[in-house]
Structure formats: C-alpha cells, structure tokens
Chain A
C-alpha cells in the first residue's frame, strides 16, 4: 500500500488511527492490532511476502532470547551468526542472486565459455533491505548488551512491522523505540498528533507537489539517454537530484508524521543534505539512519579510525562500497558507493593536509556538484547509460541548437532551479515549529486536499525499489 493512495488515506489510515486510540485501555489487544494492520499494509501488494517478514521476525526474536539467556560467548556468537546468516541470506537470495548470476555469465562470456549460469527471475519484496537491517540491529545490540530483549513476540513483531517505517525507513533501532513499546497504554498526546499531521502533510507535499512535478522533467529526458546533449544532460541530472531528495525526504517525513500520530517518535532521516558543506557533512545529513547504521555496525567494527589514517580510509571505501551495494544489485550502485568512498577519502585528505576552509557557498556548491555527479550512476540502469549521460554533461554529445528561454523552460529548468533554491534556503522541517492556529490548519488542509486530488497520477516512492 502506498501512503499516496486513496485506499490508504480514505480507508486504511482513518480506521487504523481510530482503532488504535480506541484500544488505549487494552495494550495487548492494541499491540496485536498494530501488528495485524501492519501486515495488512505490507501484504496489500503481495500477501505471500508477509510470510518472509514473519520468518525474519521469528528467527530474530528467538535468536534474541537465546543470546540474552546464553551464558557463554561462543553460544552468543553462534546465535548472532545464525541471525546474520538468515537475514543476509534472505537479502542475498531475493536481491543479489540475479545480479551475481548475471555477473558470472558476463565473466564466463568474456572467457568464451558462454552463458552457463541460469539467471533466476526473483521478485524483490518491497522494503526487504529496511526490515532485515532492523532485525539485524536488534540481534547485534542484544549481543553487545545495549538493549534488553523484547518483552514478547508481539512487541518484537510490532517493532519490525510497524507500517509507517516498514517499507522505506527511517531505519529504526530497537533502542529508539524500546521505552515507547513498553508504554502502550498511553492516551492521545495532542501535541504529538498535531506535529504528526504537520510532518505528514509536509512530507506528502514534498512528494506530490515537488518530486512528482520534477519527475515530469527527468523521466522523459532519461527515457532516451542516448539523445541527451549538454543542456538536456544537465537538466536531467538537476531534476533527478531534486526528485530523489524530495521523494525520499517526503516519504521519511510522512513516516515520522504517521509515527507521531500513533504516539511513536522515529529518528530524523534528513537534515537539508543539499546544504552540506562537504561530502562527510552530506552523509551526516542524507539518509541519516542508514549512515549511522553503517557507522555503528560496519565502520566501527572494521576498526573505524582507531588504527591509523590508511586503514580508516580503507574502511571508508569498504563501507561505502557495501552501502552502494545495499542500495541495489548492480554495477552502477557499486560504482556509486565506491565513488562516494573515494570522495570521503579525498575529503579526509583535504581536511588533514590542506586545511584551508572554503567559503561556505563555494563548499556547498562543490559538494552539491559532487553529489549530483554521483546520482548519474545511481539513476542509470546500466553503465552504458551512465557513460552516455556523463559524456553529455561534458559536451561530448554536442550542444542543443535551439537554446531559447522557451526551450530551457520546456526542459523544466524553471521548476528545478526553484526547487533547488528551496533546498538551499528553506529551513528543514525538523527545525520549523509551526504556529498552531486556524490559519495553519486551513493551509495544511488545502495543501493536503490538493495532494489527494493528485493521487490520480499515482506514483510509487523511488526508495521502494531498495
């Protein structure tokens, strides 16, 4: 089910919210209801995949109990290994099997053996990368002794499947919601509910009014990447940069808003990333829950920056490469991750050796440019498309003949530049406290209704594919 669908807004959400708050006196029933409604939300697309979600939940819940109760480190390690193998195994099968088979065939073909490996056609369950990471963090945190085991299977199932964040994050750790999961008999906190409405409407407008509008510029241009020339190449990259941000940040804000309406606080996921003054700063602002996951569960265990500069750079490269692979099974994603790893290393070298602070606008512009160049790899379906696109933006595919204002407007420059300025100048949703007044209520209602009217051009969120 999509947040931007009639069935969700007109039927699912009102029913779930009403039932959730009506069941405040019965915490156990309330919890069961949350799990059941989240499974309905997830199973709406393909009910079969709820079994996978259930399997992942069961394995990690019982592994968690085992880790908590076992007295020896070896048993704990074995159980953690079981959790890692099951979660990463699910991910490997559904997400990477086809990619590895295809890559193997490519290699065998290059060696003139032909395509010997059968490439399986496996449907990728939506949100699998997000919930497997969440269940993983639970097992690892238990192993580290950072959290206590979930009070019951239902508590854990609710944590894993909670519909606001199930499909595309934010990646919520058990420690983030542990206390909230214990206090289920709470009555409505109207301040949080009002804030939730604010976040939800802002998120929806980011998705529908900005991302989908800019997508109308990017999508047709990228449908035929071989025809991209200098200006159209830049128009496409700028439009996609804006589309991706508003699409994903919009989803995150909607998820956070829904969480608040249910009485849960989720962590912030975006902090105006296009205002970042360096690549390192960018990764502290973009998909923050993934960045912190990679830092805490990959970079630091690899040694972080404790064993000298060289090893810390190696760790950065490795982490970003795996981060790229997490986003998608394809060489373009691997290269995108590697590119960001290299940029982070360069960032570190510059910081350590040159130590000249760039003027802030220049630093922002330079970071923005690097990020944009990276999105080319991220968006390209294959390396050929990426190459065409890179060639176009450096002028190797020629220049458009007609460069009148109307041509530039038809390429969507007006819309995308306005949206870019918006990214740079407008404060983040988290930093803005709206005045709760009749005027704000009416304005939010109008924006929301306008967004609902635009549901007729239903479009899924970009991050669903991951």
Chain B
C-alpha cells in the first residue's frame, strides 16, 4: 500500500499481520515525515558523526594491522616492528651490528655477515622500513645498551624515500620505537595514523577479522602464520615454502602483485623527500659520532618489475636521484655506499627471488659478498 494511503486509511491492528503492517506503516511515516531544515541538518550531522565514531571504534578494537594498542582479536597482518623489538630485547648478548631496511633486507643472514665481518649482527629489517624507522632503531639500541653498535648496514628502498607517504602507522604504534622519534615526526603523521581508523581497507579487514573470530572457537583465534622470524631476525617464508614444495607457488602472480603496488607508489612519488633524507643523515651522523661504521646500499628490484616501472613511471629518474643522494651522504660522512639496485651489480640470480623485490638467501649472500669483500673482514677484525 502506498504510504499516503496507509496514512489515511484506518487499518485494524488486530491480528499479527495487521500489527506488522501497522508497525511498518508507522515506521515509514516516521522515516519519511518532513523535517524542519534545521532538524535535517542537525540529524544528518549527528548521524554522520555517530557512524564515523562507530567505524573508528570497531577498527580500533579489532586493530587488524596491529597499528593501535588494543589487541582484542588476532591481527590479520603480523607487525614486524613489535616482533623485532621483542626479539631484539630477548638477545642474550647485545648484537654488535644491525641490519636495517625494509622487508627486502629480512633475508640478510647475521650468521653469514659474521662470517664476513667477525661481528654478531641482528636483522632489524621491518616492513616498509624508512629512514625514520632506521633512526628510531639505532636510538633504541643506544638507549637499551648505552652505546651504539659497531656496524650498521642500511638497505634503502627508492620508495622508502618517497615524498608522498607519511611514516608507517606501525612505527607510531610501536611505543618503544615511536618514543625514540616522537618529536622528529610531523604532527600530520600522527593525524594520518588516526585517520586510518576511517579507511575502507581497514574496515573491511576488521570485518574479516571479526568473521575469523566468530567462525573459530575462541575470540582470540590465532591466524595461521605465513611468515616467521628466527631469533636473529631473519624471516622464514613459511607459506611460500610450503607452496613451493607443493609446486603451487605462482611467481608470476607475485610479480604482478608487485607491479600493481609499485606502479601506484611510483606514480604518486614526484621526488625524494627532503625530510626522509634528513632522518637518514641524522641516523648516520648519530652512528658515526659514536664510532659506528655505516654501510648504505640501494635495494634490488627484479628485472621484470624494474622494466615495468621504468616504462610506466619516473622510476629511473627517482632511482638515480636516490643513488646520488646516498652517494652524497656517504661522501659527506665516513660511511660507504654500495649500489646493489640491479642484479648485475652483485652477480645476482633472477630465479632467487620471492617476488619482484624480495631476494632469497643465494642473492642476499652475494650482496653481502659485494658489501663486504674478503678484505673487510680483516678491517673489522682490526677494529
């Protein structure tokens, strides 16, 4: 029945169907009844604020990406920063060296580095590691042990120097790291972290997380780990390894995923971030003033991904700018810069990659060989 008719005709609300109809009609009338413009504006505003608060609260409580302090449900994505901080603190003896960088450096093995340098390293590579992370980590080391490490190896991604993205929200969410750089980061980064409570991606993940929790027995269900870290911080690609053994690992798909991701990254990046270069300078300066040897290198891209990015974005120019910036930084300080941006620079194998950006051990070992030729071992031994 049309609403106008419903409003005028007397409907006997006696039996259940009629009562239901009555209720529906009165609801319809209530919802469609004209509001005064002032009431309309206030209702819309209040309802909007209420909805936004609901979404933000759900995201904060569920915390699917481990960005906030709440931990009601198991996160969908494990947070490498908090895991690495925990592993770092569990070390029986402080490591003498640190490997810093993004997930691309997570396969750099401290044991192999020790073999080349005689120093015990800890792999502190974190997802989307950027200069502000490196600064936070070296300061955490200093504040934990009262001194700086003897050597720091920093793998810099071109994308990590982007002028278009704020610091990773997971840095702000890890209190021990965040407290080291709190006053160095702009307030907009903190604002960005809070606004991510209102992102569609996070909300969809929260819903997925709730679904996961509801379909399992306990509310705090543990998600199946796809990756794990050894005690020295090296990553193990559990899922990838099981898929590889089963013959179902799809390398082409992994590359395609990288292409989509990095095309977006490099299309949004116009130049190197001056702020990020400053963080890097500060991290290097802090290390060197305290007798720590710094080695910088530019991380590698798989040739297929490299070609795509070169053809469709300003990647080549940005990479060249990054090389120049790192070389300048090395020239101005006591640090070394080694270009490892292509597989040719270290004699790498294109088949030894997880995907377009993550090299496997055979490649990282070759990189370490290139970074620390045999003579370096003696040099470190003398130090």
The interface of chain A, by Cβ under 8 A from chain B, is 6-7, 10-11, 188, 190-191, 193-194, 197, 223-224, 435-442, 444-446, 448-449, 452-457
Contacts and interface: CB of A to CB of B under 8 A. Distances in A.
Contacts of B55: 449, 453
A437 B47 contact: no
Given A223-B312, A446-B51, A455-B198, A435 B34 contact: yes
A191 B196 contact: no
B195 A6 contact: yes
Contact of A452 (B34, B198, B201): B198
Interface of A is mostly: helix
B40 to A, nearest CB: 4
Interface of B: 30-38, 40-41, 43-45, 47-48, 51-52, 55, 188, 191-192, 195-196, 198-203, 263, 312
Contact of B41 (A11, A193, A449): A193
Given A446-B51, A448-B48, A453-B199, A437 B31 contact: yes
Contacts of A223: 263, 312
Given A455-B198, A455-B199, A456-B200, A438 B36 contact: no
B312 A224 contact: yes
Nearest to A450: B200
A194 B34 CA distance: 13
Contacts of B35: 436-438, 441
5 contacts: A436-B40, A441-B43, A441-B47, A449-B55, A453-B198
B32 A439 contact: yes
Contacts of B30: 438
B41 A194 contact: yes
A399 B16 CA distance: 62
A438 B33 contact: yes
Contacts of A444: 44
A458 to B, nearest CB: 9
B31 A438 contact: yes
> Which of A435, A446, A449 has most B Cβ within 10 Å?
A449
A2 to B, nearest CB: 13
Nearest to B313: A223
A435 B37 CA distance: 10
Contacts of A7: 188, 191, 195
For the complex of A and B, list the 3 residue pairs with the smallest distance between their C-beta atoms, beginning with the closest.
A456-B199, A6-B195, A190-B37
A224 B34 CA distance: 52
Contacts of B34: 435-437
Contact of A437 (B33, B48, B203, B312): B33
A453 B202 CA distance: 9
Residue of B41, B188, B191, B312 most packed against chain A (CB within 10 A): B41
Nearest to B264: A457
A453 B34 CA distance: 29
A190 B43 contact: no
A441 B44 contact: yes
Contacts of A224: 312
Nearest to B260: A220
B2 to A, nearest CB: 15
Contacts of A6: 191-192, 195, 198
Contacts of B31: 437-439, 442
B334 to A, nearest CB: 35
Contact of A449 (B51, B191, B192, B195): B51
Nearest to A446: B51
Given A7-B191, A437-B32, A456-B196, A445 B48 contact: yes
Contacts of A442: 31, 47
A194 B43 CA distance: 10
Chain A CB within 10 A, most for which of B51, B202, B312: B51
Given A445-B44, A448-B48, A453-B198, A191 B32 contact: no
Contacts of B52: 449, 452
Contacts of B45: 197
A449 B48 contact: yes
Contacts of A439: 31-32
Contact of B51 (A193, A445, A454, A457): A445
A190 to B, nearest CB: 4
B167 to A, nearest CB: 16
A369 B47 CA distance: 43
A456 B35 CA distance: 33
Given A437-B32, A449-B48, 17 more contacts: A6-B192, A6-B198, A7-B188, A188-B38, A193-B41, A194-B37, A197-B44, A435-B34, A436-B36, A436-B37, A438-B31, A441-B35, A445-B48, A449-B52, A453-B198, A455-B199, A456-B200
Contact of B200 (A188, A437, A453): A453
